[in-house]
Chain A
Amino acid sequence: MLFTSYEFIGFIAVLLTVYYLVPRRARPPLLLAASCAFYAFSGWENLLFIACTVLSVWGGGLLLEKNLARQKARLCAGELSAADKKAIRDGEKKKRKGILAAVLLLNLGILAAVKYLGFLTEGLNGVLGLFGAAPLSAASLIVPMGISFYTFQSIGYLVDVFRGAVPAQRSLWKFALFVSFFPQLVQGPISRYGDLSRTLFEPLPLSYAVLRRGLVRVLWGYFKKLVIADRLSVAVLAMTGGQDRGGFALALLFLYTIQLYADFTGGIDVTIGLAEAMGVTVAENFRRPYLAVSLKDYWRRWHISMCTWFRDYLFYPVSTSRLMRSLTKGTKKVFGDKAGRKVPLYLSSFIVWGATGLWHGANWNFLVWGLSNWAILMVSQELEGAWGAFRKRFPKTGGKAWRAVAVGRTFLLVAAMNLFDCYPTLGGTFGAFFSIFDPRAWAGFSFSSLLSLGLTGADFALTGVAVVLMFAVSCAGAWGDVRDRLEKMPFALRVVLLLLLFFAVLIFGAYGRGYDAGQFIYNRF
């Protein structure tokens, strides 16, 4: 069921009506039923996958907590020496690691099987081909909706229980709701148990103001998705379909970057707004990413829940692992103290960015995209000292003009790397990118050529106005939630503005012939 489908609008209308009518304690079970129904729409067989994750992670969490309780009891029993205590802690930790590893293996195994089998077979066939062996046939399984998101969210919960950061959830249905909460099932965010559980199991009190506030954000999300993203997708598809050389490639780079922003942030607005209307608080996933002054800054602002997930559950464990500690000792002997310490650090980053790339998609394009991010971030890290000295020597480089240059440069960099997302192969990506610098590829291109991409001049003008509005609202958000200001406006003005937004979505949304209210881009991941 697409967020942009009539079925979904009907589903939400019925759900919200019932949700507001039932007593407060009946709301979370109702949400679980709604989530199951929503998920079943994507295929009954998919319920088996999510049920497997729910049961295994829930059971694993309980076992981990039981072990922690046993450790505590043993440590408190009688007089124990420091060595005895250490032996108990180490022994019990080993058991917990076993539980954690088994559940992770099962869930990551399922994810790998449905998402990466084709990619792994392709890689294996490449190796077999070198030895003249016959290629293996690639098995392809249907990827269950949102599996990357709910698997990662569940793993985050289990690791948190393992670390003793959150208590295990004893109620199976509550845990099932945490994993399957439908507004975030399509494209995240990847919520933390400690954050989401606060209001998911005991939603905030409802009122007309809560409903209105949530639905305003939903409407804003639809504006971004339907008026901007889906309209631009017509031109983007035309370009990636073959019209992608020279000026078209440059246009693709910009238009896709705007489409991706409108699509993803619009989808997250729908998610957060819906949850808010139901008294559930979902953490923000963006903080004006296209105003980032560096790639490092960008990754603190874009898809925050995914970035912090990789940081907390992969980068930190890998970089502080026993293996990396041993490696550090070795590299320090070879390269000296300072440089030697960096080798494992950069290796850990390499692993994390490779995994981030593959999380986005099982193909070489995403792997290279991830590793390009890694390379740029590591070079920037190395140059940080020199850059700091430069800034001290030329203090004006801290000014607004310099900041604007840094924002523009980062935007271009991100936009260029987004090209990896547009094509299924590296050849397609690099072919389009390098054609930007080939004067022959620009032959015959003019601004009016863009009108051959399926959009009219009026479409481009409308999109331009909508994009300016989208970024203005986003920037205004830096000084507090825009809806707070809307609430303070005179009633008549507020109604007029909301009606304008509503009719803008209704009239200017990309529906009908030539358009397709498409799936959200991040749903693929």
Chain B
Amino acid sequence: MEELLEILNELHDDVDYETEEHLIDNGILDSLDIVTLIAQISDRFDVTITAKDIAPENFNSAAAMAALIRRLEEEG
């Protein structure tokens, strides 16, 4: 989680990612942010995030992103 928060803070350092639960719904992260984020997550966690996984429920909060990463790691 800490590593994920580090990536997120690099993107926008003025957001409280530990409490914010509407990163997509509130327009805090836009499409360019999402793709940048995916590239960094893929690098650091060695997972492949595809367009199918890009849904608000997977990116609305840091916890949701962590859950997505865990699921992709399990699926190999």
Q: Which residues of A approach B to under 8 Å, CB–CB?
A: 82, 86, 89, 163-165, 296, 300, 311-312, 315-317, 319-320, 325, 328, 341-342, 344-345, 348-349, 381
Q: Which residues of A contact B39 (CB under 8 A)?
A: 328, 341, 344-345
Which of the four size classes fits the interface of chain B? Answer: 20 to 34
B9 within 8 A of A: no
Distance A317 CA – B30 CA, assembled complex (angstroms): 16
Closest CB pairs A-B (n = 8):
A316-B51, A317-B51, A163-B52, A319-B35, A316-B54, A341-B39, A311-B31, A320-B51
A348 x B35 contact (CB < 8 A): yes
Is A316 within 8 A of B31, CB to CB? yes
Instruction: Report B18-61 CB contacts with A as 1/0, cut-off 8 Å.
Output: 00000000010011101110111010000011111011000000
With A86-B75, A316-B54, A320-B51 already in contact, the answer to whether A345 and B42 are too (CB < 8 A) is no
Per the bound structure, the CA–CA distance linking A320 and B40 in Å amounts to 12
The residue on A at minimum CB distance from B49 is A320
How far is A316 from B37 in the complex, measured between Cα atoms in Å?
12
Residue of B nearest to A377 (CB): B32
Which residues of B lie under 8 Å from residue A341 when comparing CB positions?
A: 36, 39-40
Whether A300 touches B76, Cβ cut-off 8 Å, given contacts A341-B40, A348-B35, A349-B32, is no
Chain B residues in 8 Å Cβ range of A300: 27, 30
Most A-side CB within 10 Å, residue of B30, B32, B49, B50: B32
Q: Quick check: A345 and B75 within 8 Å, CB to CB?
A: no
Q: Which residues of A contact B31 (CB under 8 A)?
A: 311, 315-316
Bound together, the chains give a CA A311 to CA B39 distance in angstroms of 17
Instruction: State the Cβ distance, B22 to closest chain A Cβ, in Å.
Output: 15
Of chain A, the residue at the smallest CB distance from B48 is: A325
**Chain B residues closer than 8 Å to A348, beta-carbon distance:** 35
22 cross-chain CB contacts under 8 A: A86-B75, A89-B75, A163-B51, A163-B52, A165-B55, A300-B27, A300-B30, A311-B31, A315-B31, A316-B35, A316-B51, A316-B54, A317-B51, A320-B38, A320-B49, A320-B51, A320-B54, A325-B42, A342-B36, A345-B32, A345-B39, A349-B32
